[in-house]
Structure 1
Amino acid sequence: MSEIRYDRLHDTHVIIAPERLHRTDYSVKRDEVNIEHKNCPFCEGNEKLTPPEIFAIRGKGTFANEEGWHTRVVPNLFKAVQIEMPYKHHYGPFEYLEGFGAHEIVIDTPKHHTSMVQWSQENVEEWLQTLRQRVSDLRRDHRIAYISLFKNEGTQAGSTQAHSHTQVIGLPIIPKIQKEAYARSYEYYKSNEHSLVESVLMHEEEDSRRIIANSSDFTAYCPYASTYPFEVMISSKAALGQIDTISDESIKELAPLLLGVLKKMKIQLDSFDFNLCISTPPLQEGSIEHELLSSVDEACRFSIRIMPRIYKYGGFEQSTGVVINPVTPELAAKLLREEKDA
């Protein structure tokens, strides 16, 4: 039987319809590629094929734009926005801002890995440390109101480069969907004196059917109103800060949980495309209400969202904004939870 479920975090409805699971357009597998490419601009030894690096975690005695790095950040060669553009707002019937912003590529690993599942725990820790540094640095530019932190893995998820990488986009605006989400989080916190994510986690823990794994400070679960089949959220149980302020201790705890979840997903889904995004609340004076800024860590808990792209959406989803998910999150969590040795 299908259900129309309400997603409290994103203020959307999702139709959970397991009857549609066996449609012919449903497929979870893709061809796995892991071939060294001599001309891959993201591989170690090809540093001259990218713009000069902005930041890198490197081995001792190594130099910028040479071999010896563990993670490396460069400007996107095909920028959506550019930091060199004037920060100028044009008003009128055709209002627009000039294409100011930051668009960076985090090269996740020097090896030609095509999936996060191939990473080691140390890789994940250094990746999180790199993201922490880049968001912290970009927040110092008060022209940037919002930072989007996301990873596309596989062509179905929008990736055009096989080598594992992450993107950081800083904008002079806060997208409407994000502004509304953080406003809801703040209003909930103000009314209830605890965060919406904390409330969701409390109910998920009580129900337990959608919980995949726990650590001291983080919970991995399939959301009650999952938009995507096998969607996973990893959220902090307490106010641990945001990606730019999270501690080394939290990173060391988060890394094995994230990697373990991805490996469980691979066992169930084989090679699969997915999008991953990390919560990045706006933290600039003037971009949102001061009250939210002063309580942002409490109101907006740190979270990672993993969205497998294994099911094609059609006209209904595009025209209504209501997604049909053929896999119940209870079943997805049960299957992922049973993979003890992932």
Structure 2
Amino acid sequence: MSEIRKHYFLPEYCIIAEERAKRPSDFAGAAEGSEESLSESCVFCAGNEEKTPPATAVYRNGEVFADTWEKRVRNWDFRCFPNLYPALSPAPPSPGFGKDPEVLPGFGFHEVIVESPLHGKNLKDFSDTEISGLIRVYKDRVCHYAAHEKIRYVSLFKNSGKAAGASQDHPHSQLIALPVCPQILERELKAIREVEECPYCALLEKEKASPRLIHENSKFVAFAPYYSIGPFEVWVLPKEHINFLGNFSPELLFALGEILRAVLRSYAKVLGILPYNHMFYQLFETPEYHLNLRLLPRISTAAGFELNTGVYINTVSPEKTASYLRGNE
């Protein structure tokens, strides 16, 4: 029989209905067409630096540089530049804007983080140096925009594969800095402030001892959340209560990269190449919040019921997810 499960601390629900799909092989078709194909014309590849806006930060051998319009930095490890088609822009609003009090200027920043100069590189195959270097870039770029006086939230995320929203095959993440705090974070923060103990700290201790645990290292745990909105959803939480990447030590950065790579390798073993998103949830001005990273393979589709109710139907239980990803089945 299916189950209706409640979120850990929010008034939200999901339905676990395993009768509708039973094994990872049932999702094999979702990954078709997501295999990365080499492209000589890829604007993100090394050698094509002039085809993007000048980079605001270029990482090479641990040092940070910046492009100019006249000269682009070569032989880089990671490259960050403004999105050519930004959702938000730091440009001032046009004359006459602001007559409607319900509308705010589309102010903000939208940046691309190219994760490797190699077109076919996958995060699961990164070396220790590469994965910890990327997490350092994440920290640097989030801090850069969080320091802006008009920015209230920095969304850091990765879309991998067309089904996950990626328009480029080349491995990259994105960052959008907003002048408002998203409702989902406001709602979580309200619930967190209504209790004495951080609910993330409480659920972390619970999940460490549950059948939903997938990976654990000295600093982080990765588990399939009891409340999962889609098949093979994974959450990663630091064992230490910490609200923002900017507060991470080098040891935490390394451990985060290590456990992220471990989850992606588990996905690859069980599901093969698949589209997925990973998303950071953090609040840089709010110590009560507990940073978390969520990964969601895009192997199911939100349809009319989900859009109508906000209740998601998940056809693989978190317990089964964890068992598969641990390699037990």
Q: TM-score with structure 2 length normalisation? A: 0.90
Residue equivalent to 1:29? 31
2:316 alignment counterpart: 327
Match of 2:292 in 1: 303
- Displacement after TM superposition at 1:66 (Å): 2.6
* Alignment-mate amino acid for residue 80 of structure 2: V
For residue 277 of structure 1, report the CA deviation from its aligned partner.
0.4
Could you tell me which residue of structure 1 aligns to residue 217 of structure 2? Answer: 215
Q: Secondary structure in 2 aligned to 1:229?
A: coil
1:71-86 alignment to 2 at 5 Å?
Answer: 71-86=78-93
Q: Percent identity?
A: 32
Give CA deviations for 1:256-283 in whole Å, capped at 9, x if unaligned.
Answer: 2110111011111111111110122152
Q: Structure 2 unaligned runs (5+)?
A: none
2:104 aligned with 1:97, yes or no?
Answer: yes
Give the secondary-structure state (helix, strand or coil) at the position aligned to 1:318. Answer: helix
- Name the residue aligned to 2:303: 314
- Structure 2 match to 1:197: 200
* Residue number among 136, 141, 152 corresponding to 2:143 in the alignment: 136
Secondary structure of the residue aligned to 1:36 is: coil
Q: CA deviation at 1:31?
A: 3.3
Please report how far the alpha carbon of residue 100 of structure 1 lies from its aligned counterpart in structure 2 after TM superposition: 0.7
Q: Quick one: distance in 2 between partners of 1:15 and 1:203?
A: 21
Distance 2:93 2:193 in 1: 32
Matching of residue 120 in structure 1 with residue 131 in structure 2 = no
Q: Is the Cα contact below 8 Å between 1:62 and 1:68 reproduced in 2?
A: no
- The CA deviation string for residues 294-314 of structure 1, in whole angstroms up to 9 with x for no partner, is xx1xx2222110011101221
Greater alpha carbon shift after TM alignment, 94-103 vs 239-248: 239-248
Distance change in 2, residues 1:76/1:252 (3 Å):
same
TM-superposed deviation, 1:335: 1.1
Distance in 1 of aligned mates of 2:52 and 2:148: 24
Question: Aligned AA for 2:2?
Answer: S
Query: 1:126-275 maps to which residues of 2 (within 5 A)?
Result: 126-188=133-195, 192=196, 194-206=197-209, 208-275=210-277
Correspondence list, 1:32-47, <5 A: 32-47=34-49
Distance 1:242 1:82 in 2: 24
- Alignment partners' CA distance in 2, 1:67 and 1:52: 12
Q: Is the 8 A contact 1:54 1:75 kept in 2?
A: yes
After alignment, is 14-23 or 259-268 more displaced? 14-23
Task: Give the letter for the 1:324 counterpart.
Answer: I
Is the CA contact 1:276–1:306 (under 8 Å) kept in the aligned structure 2? yes
- The residue type equivalent to 1:209 in the other structure is P
Shift of 1:228: 1.2
Which whole-Å CA distance do the structure 1 matches of 2:182 and 2:242 have between them?
24
Q: Do the aligned residues in 1 keep the contact of 2:109 with 2:178 (CA within 8 Å)? A: yes
Structure 1's consecutive aligned runs of 4 or more residues displaced over 3 angstroms after TM superposition are: 22-28, 31-36, 59-64, 86-92
TM-score, with length taken from structure 1: 0.87
Partner of 1:288: none
Q: Take 2:9 and 2:166, find their aligned partners in 1: how far apart are those partners? A: 26
- Structure 1 distance, partners of 2:213, 2:220, is 11
Residue 114 of structure 1 deviates from its aligned partner by 5.9
Map Cα deviations across residues 157-186 of structure 1 (whole Å, 9 max, x no partner). Answer: 111111011111011111222211122223
SS class of match (1:127): helix
Q: Deviations over 1:117-139 (max 9, x none)?
A: 23333222111111111111111
Deviation at 1:22, TM superposition (A): 6.1
The answer to whether the Cα contact below 8 Å between 2:157 and 2:174 also exists between their aligned partners in 1 is yes
Counterparts of 1:253 and 1:35, CA distance in 2? 30
| 1:5 positional shift | 0.2
1-structure distance, mates of 2:107, 2:174: 16
Q: What displacement does 1:84 show?
A: 1.9
Please name the residue that 1:67 is paired with.
74
SS at match of 2:86: coil
Residues of 2 paired with 1:53 and 1:10: CA distance? 40
Corresponding residue for residue 5 of structure 2: 5
Aligned-residue RMSD, C-alpha: 2.5
Structure 1: gaps of 5 or more residues: 284-292
Q: Could you say if the C-alpha distance between residues 254 and 36 of structure 1 is closer, same or farther in structure 2, counting changes exceeding 3 Å?
A: same
Post-superposition shift, 1:108?
0.9
- After the TM superposition, which of the residue ranges 145-154 and 60-69 deviates more from structure 2? 60-69
